[in-house]
Amino acid sequence: MTSPSARIALVTGASRGIGRALALGLARRGAHVVALARTQGALDELDDEIGAMGGQATLVPCDLADFDALDRLGAALFERFGRLDVLVGNGGILGPLTPLAHADPKDWNKVMAVNVTANWRLIRSLDPLLRASSAGRALFVTSGAAHRARMKPYWGPYAVSKAALEAIARTYAAETENTSSIKVMLANPGPLRTRMRALAMPGEDPATLRTPEEFAEKAIPLCAPEWRESGRLYDFPSDRVLDFAAPI
């Protein structure tokens, strides 16, 4: 049974990479983790690891593009917990690395569905639960690609989707600034040793990259009740919290 004092934390893309590191880190700090990902087997492995450390998890095998399922998730969490303390919007896809003029519309739509619309649908579904928390925290994982279009040719769909995600998070932060205890942050992990990075940069030596666990150690405090800033971006490569007017 979940302790009444445990924070309820939903992490999307929780089965591997950054999401897995964040889920384990939150569980290690006493949160009941609601782990959402597409792959049941990987979720089961995560559940075993959380259980081994004495934590608890609820597994949600779900494709982020299944928007009806995201709507049902809000109702299910309300029925079980009555609130949500932490939303981590981490799940995302790289999409095609191609000139914009060559991008296939189906690929474009998939990237926008998973990286952008799913996070809006999560806010739409979970906002009442975050407002029911005494210290609701929302953290969305973005990318430097959102700010470096001139330096990232051929990353158009991904870069555009992350720029849109940042606009969503900033809007949500502004809308909750004076009406609730919700704090909304973005986090840019930079290049990490993940599967997505390997797909994007196949010739890169992964040993030269920092790990998702290192990022998680820095990002998890943004989800704590003690965190008071909102509408800003934590940049892991520089270890700074930035206003959006500041260069990255």
Q: CB count, 10 Å around CB of 66?
A: 15
Our CA dihedral for 196, 248, 130, 137, rounded to 10 degrees, sits at 100
Question: How far apart, in whole angstroms, are the C-alpha atoms of residue 238 and residue 248?
Answer: 9
CA distance readout (Å), 212 to 73, 128, 203, 227? 26, 30, 19, 21
Token digits of residue 26: 């939150």
Q: Is 158 a catalytic residue?
A: yes
- Which residue type occupies 189? P
The catalytically annotated residue of 154, 158, 172, 234 is 158
Residue closest to 224 by CA, chosen among 74, 51, 31: 31
* Cα first-last separation, the chain: 44
Question: How far apart, in whole angstroms, are the C-alpha atoms of residue 110 and residue 154?
Answer: 17
Which positions are annotated as active-site residues?
158
